[in-house]
Amino acid sequence: MGSITTMPSDIRRLERRARAFAAQFRAFTATTPGLCLKCFYAFVADLDSAAYEHLSAKCPEFFDALMGFVSTDYGPNDWDSRVAISVDMLVYHSTQCPNCAASDTAGLALSTEEPPFDTFFDRCCRTLARCLAPPVNPNVNSRQSKIQKKPFRPGSWPSRPEQLFPLGAEQTVGHLIQLSSLMYTGPIVLLTAMLLRYRKPVFEEIVHPRHDHLILRRIEPALGEAAKLATDALTAFHGNANSTPTSASDRIVVKAMARYNDFPRLLHVITSGVDFEGHDLALFAFRYEARLYRAVVSVVEKLHNPGAWDVYLPNVAIALYS
């Protein structure tokens, strides 16, 4: 997709597919989830930065529909409901999808750890997050690579806050907060991107007493699990449990913790992201400061370079301690 600016046929195909998926997302219900997982995964996997920018400007209805989907309650708090939707989506893929039902190509690769609906929801969240907060280019100057605020503006999705909060900030953000404790890290990734785009209403909802520190209570055990994986990796690398971390072991340890990468990024954005205030981390961790500090340190102490996993994580520990 990187050459879409010079290939009109690719542009037309990109827009056509995006609008088709937008219509399917708008029609999506728990009882009739008429959307093919394989086709959608192939579509989003083919999107690069140029494609995201083009769709943001020329096909904002795709992201509107996607945001509406992740904001809607399909009964995802119930495992059985998510399994039922998953079954229906798999049936659609194999029997009704115009592209896949009659195809002789390989079947859909599925995770054995979560219902297909959860994987699908995670992918939707990450697609939205990629549009809201594009990845930083590691090759540019460190000062320039700091996260820069991208304000709402006409001609680019989202052009107004209502597109980010289709059901209002309280319900949209609250829904994602609830799902963050039930699903993989897609809701965490999307909330992180939303904080970068429009911090105030998102952060206020995250720390609202009605959610009882749910995000924090998701992060703390996740860091604990990451620390256990780090310990096992360090032990396996050196052959004993009391080995001192080295730069060589850092590579193995960081790889072992990869599935938890999204949590330190959220902590960084809460601590010092776009539009942060000095007391935000204290407000987020109120009454849990010591527990969160220990969880962060339990990971950092397994590394020779404290910032090897996430360059900002040591700063979070310092902020919690001070």
SS3 assignment, position 141: coil
User: Rounded to whole angstroms, how far apart are CA atoms 151 and 158?
Assistant: 9
The model carries a pTM of: 0.91
Give the pLDDT score at 141: 45
- pLDDT at position 2: 45
Domain ranges of the chain: 4-135+145-211, 214-321
Q: What is the CA radius of gyration of the chain?
A: 21
Q: DSSP code of 156?
A: S
Q: Which of 169, 157, 167, 153 has the alpha carbon at shortest distance from 203?
A: 169
Question: How high is the pLDDT of residue 297?
Answer: 98
Contact 310, 261 (CB under 8 A): yes
Residues 69 and 124: beta-carbon distance below 8 Å: yes
d(CA 292, CA 106): 45
Compute the Cα dihedral for 6, 10, 16, 17 and give only its sign: negative
Q: Are 205 and 177 in contact (CB under 8 A)?
A: yes
Tokens of 37: 């997982």
Tens digits of pLDDT across the chain (322 residues) = 444 544 567 889 999 999 999 999 999 998 899 999 999 999 999 999 999 999 999 999 999 999 999 999 877 678 888 999 999 999 998 899 998 887 655 556 666 578 899 999 999 999 999 999 987 654 444 443 444 565 688 899 999 999 999 999 999 999 999 999 988 899 999 999 999 999 999 999 999 999 999 999 999 999 999 999 999 999 999 887 678 999 999 999 999 999 999 999 999 999 999 999 999 999 999 999 999 999 999 999 999 999 999 999 999 999 999 8
Q: Are 270 and 319 in contact (CB under 8 A)?
A: no
